[in-house]
Amino acid sequence: MWICLDGEFVPRDQAKVSVFDHGLLYGDGVFEGIRAYHGRVFRLAQHVRRLYDSARTIQLQIPLTPAQYGEVILETCRRNQIHDGYIRAVVTRGVGDLGLDPRKCPLASYFIIAAGIQLYPESCYEQGLKVVTCATRRNDPTALDPAVKSLNYLNNILGRIEVNRANADEGLMLNSLGNVSEATGDNIFVVRDGVILTPPIAAGILQGITRDAVIELARAAGFTVKEEFFNVQVVYNADECFLTGTAAEVIPVRELDGREIGDGQPGAVTRQLIAAFRELVKHDGTPIHG
């Protein structure tokens, strides 16, 4: 495995960052998770733009242009002979001192990993996930905007610990008002009477690129998609529920907090959107090899 580290390609065991890097010391940095399918990087431009938007928000200067960064992602895929895989693109504040002041970090650092991934076994796509509602609330967007895909994922990790203790597959996180926000690592959708609902950005969610693609696919297929606030009771009484994310793609939920969603099986709308998404990624993407 070859890792791109600050413009150099180094073997995995030599890809190291300083203990004084503020990405390590304070979670001061941003990242993107990206997928490659069939020799193409899915929605590369959107991912790169979101990375640069996150960086701009925290006043982090990436030492490459967006076009250059996109090309380095493709080259990392080539070096690792990636045809289908997962890409992690990370930018840190860089080396500084033990204080918080980002001005003490003169140069940002970046690295890119391209490898394989399987978040869930295929059986989960056929049977659906067991999900629990987390006691940990999603970060308030007025304190830390989830639009910034930062290196500090402790909020999500605390939710994931609850999932593990409950022996579940995923966790549903609510916002400070008790409305549904998102899962610990994915966006959420529910289906009721043929209408698809998903929380709005103001609910404290990351505007997922897979989420946006699924909304496009659903509307193109003639479904009504509404972005609105709803509570956990709406999920309990939904006909269907599914999650979306770069690693998870589109995956059904069979139960929440011990309550079956619908008949406890992946529904027709969910299955249709899974099929549509898998078809989309066959041709929607930037070719790795020109």
Tens of pLDDT, residue by residue over 231-288, are 999 999 999 999 999 999 999 999 999 999 999 999 999 999 999 999 999 999 999 9
User: What pLDDT does residue 265 have?
Assistant: 95
User: What pLDDT does residue 117 have?
Assistant: 81
Would you state the structure tokens that stand for residue 240, as one six-digit string?
């269907």
Catalytic residue among 16, 104, 130, 149: 149
Per-residue confidence band for 162, with pLDDT thresholds at 50, 70 and 90: very high
Listed in order, strand segments (DSSP E) in the chain are 2-5, 8-11, 29-37, 40-41, 85-92, 109-115, 129-133, 170-174, 180-183, 187-192, 195-198, 224-227, 240-245, 249-256, 259-260, 286-287
Residues 67, 135, single domain; the answer is no
Annotated active-site residue 130? The verdict is no
| The last residue of a domain, from among 61, 83, 115 | 115
Tens of pLDDT, residue by residue over 55-106, are 999 999 999 999 999 999 999 999 999 999 999 999 999 999 999 999 999 9
User: What pLDDT does residue 256 have?
Assistant: 98
User: What pLDDT does residue 290 have?
Assistant: 77
User: What pLDDT does residue 159 have?
Assistant: 98
Asked if residue 131 has pLDDT above 90, the reply is yes
| 69-78, 139-148, 170-179, 277-286: range with lowest mean pLDDT | 139-148
Residues 131, 266, single domain; the answer is yes
Residues 110, 126, single domain; the answer is no
In angstroms, the CA 290 to CA 272 distance is 31
| The last residue of a domain, from among 94, 115, 136 | 115
| The last residue of a domain, from among 57, 88, 115 | 115
Residues 130, 30, single domain; the answer is no
Q: Is residue 184 part of a domain?
A: yes
User: What pLDDT does residue 116 have?
Assistant: 86
Q: Give the structural domain span for 49.
A: 2-115
Asked if residue 172 has pLDDT above 90, the reply is yes
User: What pLDDT does residue 12 have?
Assistant: 95
Burial annotation 13-35 (CB, 10 A radius, 16+ → b, else e): eebebeeebbbbbbebbbbbbbb
Q: Is residue 246 part of a domain?
A: yes
Per-residue confidence band for 153, with pLDDT thresholds at 50, 70 and 90: very high
User: What pLDDT does residue 119 have?
Assistant: 78
Residues 171, 256, single domain; the answer is yes
Mean per-residue pLDDT, 158-184: 97
